Amino acid sequence: MNPIGLILIAGTTLFPAFQLFALPNVSDQTALFSQYLGLAALILMAWGQILSTRLPGIEALFGGLDRVYVLHKWAGIIAMAAILLHDTIDAEMRGLGRETALTELAETLGEISLYGLLILVVISIATFIPYHLWKWTHKGMGALFAFGAFHFVFIMKPFAMSDPAGLFTGAFCVAGIAAYAWMLLPERLRPSRGYEIAALDQTGGALAITLKPRKKGIKPLPGQFGVLRFTGAGKGEPHPFSFSAIEPDGTLRVTIKALGDFTYGLGKSLKTGQEVQVQGPFGRFRLAGKKRQVWVAGGIGITPFLAWANALDASAPQVDLFYCVKSRGAAPHLDELEKIAKSKSNFNLHVIASGEGKRLSADMIADAVNGDLASAKVSFCGPTTLREALRTGLRRHGVTPRNFHFEEFEFRTGIGLKRLAAWVLKRKQLARLAPN
């Protein structure tokens, strides 16, 4: 997470507080605090809309797109908490004037916004609710944010819209509504580059799709991904996929395994010559650094490492890739990786096949690299359970969180209550086992 982005969001959210509490002749400080909570909620909701756009510069300012999604989620949750407090703490002040039909409408829209957002936030964090329902209801948050902005503009308040607090918060409302309007545009109107499918190949139970640019293509770095829309395939919904190959002539390759409703049966829907629209590139999972490298891939998580391995320079530090699969026959692009390992002396491939009774552990990694992990950088792409087990185990071998790199794309992660409960339970168990 880029700290500059966090500071920016925190600073813009806190700024109206200095404006409000500098207002003269305001005796009801409790109501003034409630007014501030309403402004803070609007600014946070505006940031949530802006973060969802994937516009250029968002990643540079806030970190990788996976971190942007995390910020988007928590901006919404904190905004909802502020709205609930704003509604609970009386924000009405005496002597502000007489209510009109417009202010009454603003009050009504504020109530609709409150209860509508509450319902949609519950849907968002309740991960058992089907994805398609979550997706369409999630789009409704922007409309409810617009209701909240109307409420802010026309409600009676201790400052005018031309005052600093009004101008500042109003600007965020405009920016948030503009971002929402951008996200409502059809996918065909979003900036993208046209490609066509040049080849379709099966590899280890996955589908490798080679894409050639029709005109000018995008220029991803190894480890980045694009958002692909397969036009005319009956699967026009855009989805993110890492590039498993990036050629100098602009040709790209993505490797897809059938793991969900969208990817299942995708191979039967595609054919060579078919158009594909690609947005991007996105992601901060990049090959960099002068430290010794340890790469860990779980199943289809091999895709970014394929691009890394092909781009690995002969002068780069030693790399050990641990490739966890069910079997060698089910390992996508294994033959390609073996060829790279033979041609590059600084690239070591370790295939960990669970069907052969092997399970990757931190100790296994330490043994393979002769215990030289304290100065190594570990990069991971694979299942969450394996990632957490390795991150905990490798810490004992000197791998700090700063040197354990991964990207996490879970659009619906709840609010971490299960993880918190598991942590509390673990602490209690450790406390019982500790000597008195």
Q: What is the pLDDT of residues 112-169, one digit of tens each?
A: 998 888 888 777 766 666 666 667 777 788 899 999 999 999 988 888 899 999 999 9
pLDDT, mean over the chain: 85
Residues counted in the chain: 436
Buried b (16+ CB within 10 A) or exposed e, 238-260: bbbbbbbbbeeebbbbbbbbeee
Q: Average the pLDDT over 243-266 and give the result.
A: 85
Q: In the numeric block, which tokens belong to residue 377? A: 């950088």
How confident is residue 384, by pLDDT bands cut at 50, 70 and 90? Answer: confident
Q: In the numeric block, which tokens belong to residue 232? A: 């005319």
Range with the poorest average pLDDT among 46-60, 196-210, 347-361, 414-428: 414-428
Q: Which residue has the higher pLDDT, 366 or 91?
A: 366
Q: What angle do CA 183, 186, 192 make, to 5 degrees?
A: 90
> The dihedral of CA 362, 368, 374, 377: what is its sign?
negative
Strand partners, 292: 376
Q: What's the whole-model pTM score?
A: 0.77
Domains of the chain in sequence order: 3-184 (1.20.120), 191-282 (2.40.30.10), 292-421 (3.40.50.80)
How confident is residue 417, by pLDDT bands cut at 50, 70 and 90? Answer: very low
Q: Average the pLDDT over 321-327 and give the result.
A: 93
Q: Burial-class residue 118 by CB neighbours within 10 Å (0-12, 13-18, 19+).
A: middle
Structure confidence by residue, pLDDT tens digits, 61-77:
888 787 888 888 889 88
pLDDT of residue 9: 94
How confident is residue 431, by pLDDT bands cut at 50, 70 and 90? Answer: low
C-alpha 141/C-alpha 117 separation (Å) is 6
